[in-house]
Amino acid sequence: MKVLVAVKRTIDPNVKVRVKSDGSGVETANVKMAMNPFCEIAVEEAVRMKEAGHAEEVIAVSAGADKAQETLRTALAMGADRAVHIVTEAELQPLAVARLLKVVADEEQPGLVIMGKQAIDDDSNQTGQMLAALLGWPQATFASEIVFKDGTADVTREIDGGLETLNVNLPAVVTTDLRLNEPRYASLPNIMKAKKKPIVRREADSLGVDVSPRLAIHKVEEPPKREAGIKVADVAELVAKLRDDAKVIG
Ligand code: AMP
């Protein structure tokens, strides 16, 4: 089967995110960008599926401006076979991305779409669920283990109360959680090899999809600054502070 893996270019998770002074969003100009960490986990899992003989081909797909190519090259260097770049300068919200990914899924007919559970920039956690609904395929979100069995997949999910295992028919959409795997670093020879792997460019406008925004951001602001802690001399002082200053005990 083919595995389609959706990857998003986001602010590098090691960079301190700064809110724009007008509160309209976060600063992305001159900021180091990288593949969304949950998408790295998705690429790693897809490549492992190929290495284990469950998948014949891994296709990476990303929607976004020209620079999304860099993210696709990273996916190719990690072991994806080829890539599709849906080119658009438009700001894409989850429904728009899900619609664009559906077009690619309809064309490629993968046995599995694997993607991040959320993008760390907007933290939407919506695209996988919406894509599964649009395709009419089963979905298993927040996966921490995927085991293939007789043309189906057992997916262990991280849920509030612990772990849940679902058996889904294929094709399906799976979204990745942190504990699924530890993504590999692309080696230099693989980075070089990835330069020769094909990236097909598709103009989003030519795919007949409505990508207009459905959500409006009213304001983005920094969380309140945490105040410095203090040291207390003994339990009596702690109790007094909790009662008189913090007023959390009677
Ligand atoms: P979100 O619903 O925005 O939190 O994103 C969840 C997942 O959807 C990401 O981890 C990606 O796998 C996928 N995704 C979101 N935006 C894009 C995009 N522009 N191109 C490709 N995949 C995307």
155 touches 168 (CB < 8 A): yes
Q: What range defines the domain where residue 104 resides?
A: 2-223
Q: What is the pTM of this model?
A: 0.91
Ligand 1 centroid vs 150 CA: distance in angstroms?
29
Q: Whose CA is nearest to atom 10 of ligand 1?
A: 116
**Residue 247 belongs to some domain of the structure:** no
69 vs 83: CA distance, rounded Å: 9
Q: Whose CA is nearest to atom 16 of ligand 1?
A: 8
CATH of the domain at 176: 3.40.50.620
Within 6 A (CB) of ligand 1 lie 6-8, 36, 38-39, 42, 62-64, 92, 94, 97, 115-116, 118-119, 122, 124-128
| pLDDT of res. 56 | 98
CA dihedral sign of residues 230, 233, 239, 244: negative
Query: Burial, 174: exposed, middle or buried (Cβ in 10 Å; 0-12, 13-18, 19+)?
Result: buried
**Residue 26 belongs to some domain of the structure:** yes
Q: Return the axis-axis angle of helices 68-78 and 37-51, rounded to nearest 10°.
A: 30
90 vs 35: CA distance, rounded Å: 19
Q: What is the pLDDT of residues 38-62, one digit of tens each?
A: 999 999 999 999 999 999 999 999 9
Residue 122 has pLDDT above 90, yes or no: no
**Residue 233 belongs to some domain of the structure:** no
Compute CA distances 33 → 28, 37, 128, 133, whole Å.
8, 11, 22, 30
**Residue 108 belongs to some domain of the structure:** yes
Average pLDDT value for residue range 102-129: 96
- Whether the link from the prior residue into 171 is cis, omega within 30° of 0, is yes
Which helix (H) or strand (E) segment holds residue 5: the answer is: strand 2-6
Ligand 1 centroid vs 5 CA: distance in angstroms?
10
**Residue 63 belongs to some domain of the structure:** yes
- Please state the domain count of the chain: 1
**Residue 115 belongs to some domain of the structure:** yes
| Confidence class for position 227, pLDDT limits 50, 70, 90 | confident
Tokens of residue 137, six digits: 């395929």
Q: What is the pLDDT of residues 72-93, one digit of tens each?
A: 999 999 999 999 999 999 999 9
**Residue 141 belongs to some domain of the structure:** yes
Ligand 1 centroid vs 26 CA: distance in angstroms?
18
Give the list of residues 6+ apart from residue 59 with CB closer than 8 angstroms, or none: 2, 3, 4, 5, 80, 81, 82, 83, 84, 108, 110
**Residue 146 belongs to some domain of the structure:** yes
Residue type for position 244: D
